[in-house]
Structure 1
């Protein structure tokens, strides 16, 4: 044991802090997937998040006080020791260019649907300028709130069964100052939305299958299990939603449904449905663009498969 090993000096710039953090994260073998996918980007998010700074020209060479490094180092050790997602430790997440409050009441915002929100749903939405949008299974509300911010004329409903998640969503509505156009609804799927139609429905439901859920890294165990797992094949909730989704879309409407790794299971469940899988420039997969017309034209097949999966005639 070497009691006389020289103490490593604190880094004196933000660039040095990021490099030191990235090395530690890499050596510790932490898992990513909550807004970043590599040690360097995670280190940037950690350092800037602790200091309350935004990335920009010249920031890398900004001087770093020893006290600030102590704070950064303490959070770094928590990230490694607790295997907790960084946004939970920071209390915030960045999504679609916006800052959201983030804690264990809801999943960390990370949906690839952000790319479609920012592109105004092109080329998938072909109707008139959308007036109403539903964020179904909204969690902390990042999708619907981002949609409202990016389209100032849009009215949005945030819907979720979990009252804790809705409480977080309400805080984010206030944070982004969109309360005049965004309302919250506690409901199980489409229940509680009878008679309501929307131009666009964004749906990021629980979709992780049994095998993936069992093998997820420790970081994901900090998130609400009900927001991730959805039965053996990950489609327990999706099978309930698809047969009735057309009832809640205008004739020109569009459903954007995210099912991640469960997309092969969804195709196997509905082999005659013409799923269109969106190619995403920023990464991600398992996002289907489904029109109201497709849902109506294939209603019989959707209803049959939903019944078959639950053992009904």
Structure 2
């Protein structure tokens, strides 16, 4: 009987470097898809190897030539093989995702967190000296994370807005169970309140200084062509109608009612900028830039929404 690939790898490979090289080769040969926190076979292999070995995922160099124990080799070889055979995103295999260095528990009940908003929250857009959409983050009293999923943006917001009480809403009870675990893991039960319901419906007129939202925004054509990795995620966290803008339109219609006089909304919505600018020609969207995106996240104030009669 022929040994399985991971058994051969566990027997013949010795170091972290060996397993990363092997992982890259296996992933490339299998034609895997990425985008759940990594964008290349190398980054995916590094994440899986270091996370499986309980090593810091941002400190590869000190460990590259470290030899692994027999048990460690077996564990790493098995998880690399699972990535190929199951096509599950790496974060589902490790039950761990990171945004801005903060760890979050994830499983198949939630989309793997990967929002550009995480980067923006820790940028000069919030509290920067030259240009900021929120000039004084400590003065923010109430924040809403709409479509919270795993709760990651609410938890990051708690770091950026140290005095704020934060509400987080999701339609999925299963997703909120994951969010509840993450809120507890970060010790934020006294600052973050979770609500189950459809967008603003469970909030009963509450108003916020800042609304953050990374809603579903995948259009019907893209949903039908999703790679296997993305098909493992909850469809309700991705699908948003024929052009992908169904949920964003609903949010824009209701947002001004839930913003304080000086409040604003930060929304990530994918690549539908032309659609939004055509549909809402009276809105002066402020498009924010990240290291890997431009025109996929906008900021609007309550005054702008009201002026456009939204």
Q: Structure 2-normalised TM-score?
A: 0.90
Correspondence for 1:81 among 85, 102, 114: 85
Correspondence for 1:24 among 3, 23, 26: 26
2:269–2:297 CA contact under 8 A, matched in 1: yes
d(CA) in 2 for partners of 1:201, 1:214: 31
Count residues with an aligned counterpart.
296
2:207–2:260 CA contact under 8 A, matched in 1: yes
1:205-216 equivalences under 5 Å are: 205-216=215-226
Q: Unaligned regions of 5+ residues in structure 1, if any?
A: 303-313
Change (3 A) 1:179 1:13: same
1:206–1:234 CA contact under 8 A, matched in 2: yes
1:138–1:144 CA contact under 8 A, matched in 2: yes
Residue 289 of structure 1, CA deviation: 1.0
Tell me what 1:52 maps to. 54
1:245 aligns with 2:255: yes
1:250–1:292 CA contact under 8 A, matched in 2: yes
1:261 aligns with 2:271: yes
Tell me what 1:233 maps to. 243
d(CA) in 2 for partners of 1:284, 1:52: 34
1:289-300 equivalences under 5 Å are: 289-299=299-309
Could you say what secondary structure the match of 1:48 adopts? helix
Superposition RMSD on alpha carbons, in Å? Answer: 1.9
Deviation beyond 6 Å, 4+ runs, structure 1:
none
Could you say what secondary structure the match of 2:104 adopts? strand
1:127–1:253 CA contact under 8 A, matched in 2: no
d(CA) in 2 for partners of 1:76, 1:152: 39
Tell me what 1:117 maps to. 121
2:264–2:299 CA contact under 8 A, matched in 1: yes
1:142 aligns with 2:144: no
Could you say what secondary structure the match of 1:278 adopts? strand
Residue 284 of structure 1, CA deviation: 6.4
Q: Unaligned regions of 5+ residues in structure 2, if any?
A: 127-131
Could you say what secondary structure the match of 1:52 adopts? coil
Q: Structure 1-normalised TM-score?
A: 0.89
Could you say what secondary structure the match of 1:273 adopts? coil
Tell me what 1:131 maps to. 141
Give CA-to-partner distance per residue, 1:146-170, whole Å, 9 cap, x none.
1113433221111111111111100
